[in-house]
Structure 1
């Protein structure tokens, strides 16, 4: 393959990554608008039911093969963690500005680096420890514990980031032998089944606007997932990782447009600190390899 062709593939992968993040942030904005209408739990259910429908459509011809896993316990645990991360984050964005929640959720890369060192035995040098410490300082700048603007709701995106990081570590433990569609199938299946059992107790019949928002969550979640899968099939994870921080810009934009939420100077500064630390950790991991 020529250098020009390689560049075209990389550019296409980057574009797909940005499109995926664009869709996911619109999904989050839709969830923020939907939660006050029908509640957080039905909103999370809508997210998982939509994902399950997508996966079933895509893998229907080989469903029997996709449903086979050599690590059922690990698949169940990672699915619970991802569902918990979604529930924490959707609850958080229903209570605090979207830009604040997105910035705190951006701790994922450094938390994953820390967890990989503690539980998977991956190396953790002083510079990476420094990057993790700086990212945590960025989170403290945003939530400002002890100040008048601090709220316990700000801890929910942090809990979401922790659950998502643990989910990622469990996914690494699965190893390359497990089909990615098998993992997608089980995350959708476990979340949909458990939430379907719980949602009748808190169900509120959606109005026309709520049904529209449910459709948007499914649509944006579907397109985002497809774009993400496609991006990682064409480009290396290390190359695409920095573009996930475009989510901070999109989240701030949707918060301002749809919810009249303008991030204050401390939120912007804290988000820049977290993104800077995450990019530094990514740089160290990429160039070390």
Structure 2
């Protein structure tokens, strides 16, 4: 590995670590104030941070085609993020992150259905291995007599992975008509506009003490996105693919330190099977980063 790929790998690892910190902050906010409030106000925080950058760059306003894509992905990604953090508030961080690793595999099958891409034999074999990983995690919950809340949390995270995989398909189309700053800003803008009408029933104006956490989560997420974008611009995706799965280590560590969560052997075994299945399926081709979900 030459110096540039080595540096890119290190930068990508830092980006993943940052995302994991943001997940921990958002989990804490979701537990204390609900996933709806946490996602809504983090989206507004992202608008506050990214809006001035968009205006200072004097970027032309998006056209009709771009606006349609921004709206569609904002709704899809937003629904995914709300489900993800609702579920993450009920399961351990390690288990929640492990289930999100399914997104690249699901995206492959959705790309075949909607974009006409061919499903390779490796993708089918990898999906079977990853499915065993999900079943292993489910078996661990059954063995531990998991509560209904934990089971529902796992289902929510799994559903979030499916919706996020769909948003990846739209992201490919967005990238052809808009730059990353525009995509990130308008995704947050659409999400906030869609969620604001529900504030009287599901949320409330956050206190001043909560805003540093909101802006901090938005800032960390934005920095992570920039770091990963730089890394993927300086090394091939197949070189960087393994770094995405370091998120599981960070999730287990932060879950233990911040939330006193213990990771079961079932979760570790299930995560390893999911990672193995994903690596087998994406071998030799570019794969989307699974951990970008948390940044919406």
TM-score using structure 2 length:
0.86
**CA displacement at 1:54 relative to structure 2:** 2.5
**CA displacement at 1:206 relative to structure 2:** 4.5
| Separation in 1, partners of 2:33, 2:204 | 5
Residue among 128, 136, 153 paired with 1:133: 128
Report the counterpart of residue 260 of structure 1 in structure 2. 260
Residue 41 of structure 1 contacts residue 202 of structure 1 at CA under 8 Å; is this kept in 2? yes
What SS does structure 1 have at the residue aligned with 2:171? helix
Report the counterpart of residue 3 of structure 1 in structure 2. none
| Separation in 1, partners of 2:169, 2:234 | 23
**CA displacement at 1:228 relative to structure 2:** 2.3
**1:60–1:208 distance in 2 versus 1, CA, 3 Å:** closer
| Separation in 2, partners of 1:179, 1:70 | 14
**1:170–1:205 distance in 2 versus 1, CA, 3 Å:** closer
Larger displacement relative to structure 2 (241-250 or 118-127): 118-127
Residue 69 of structure 1 contacts residue 178 of structure 1 at CA under 8 Å; is this kept in 2? no
**CA displacement at 1:207 relative to structure 2:** 5.6
* Paired residues for 1:186-197 under 5 Å: 186-197=186-197
Report the counterpart of residue 241 of structure 2 in structure 1. 241
Larger displacement relative to structure 2 (199-208 or 167-176): 199-208
Runs (5+) with no aligned partner, structure 2: 287-296
**1:176–1:206 distance in 2 versus 1, CA, 3 Å:** closer
| Separation in 2, partners of 1:174, 1:205 | 32
Larger displacement relative to structure 2 (107-116 or 177-186): 177-186
Query: RMSD value over aligned CA atoms?
Result: 2.4
| 1:59-100 deviation line (CA, Å, top 9, x unaligned) | 222345153453322221111111111101110111111111
**CA displacement at 1:56 relative to structure 2:** 1.3
**CA displacement at 1:174 relative to structure 2:** 3.9
Report the counterpart of residue 66 of structure 2 in structure 1. 71
Report the counterpart of residue 228 of structure 2 in structure 1. 228
Tell me the number of residue pairs that the alignment of Structure 1 and Structure 2 aligns: 282
| Separation in 2, partners of 1:180, 1:221 | 13
What SS does structure 2 have at the residue aligned with 1:261? coil
**CA displacement at 1:264 relative to structure 2:** 0.3
| Separation in 1, partners of 2:209, 2:175 | 42
TM-score using structure 1 length:
0.88
| 1:148-170 deviation line (CA, Å, top 9, x unaligned) | 33712211111111111000011
Residue among 61, 75, 78 paired with 1:83: 78
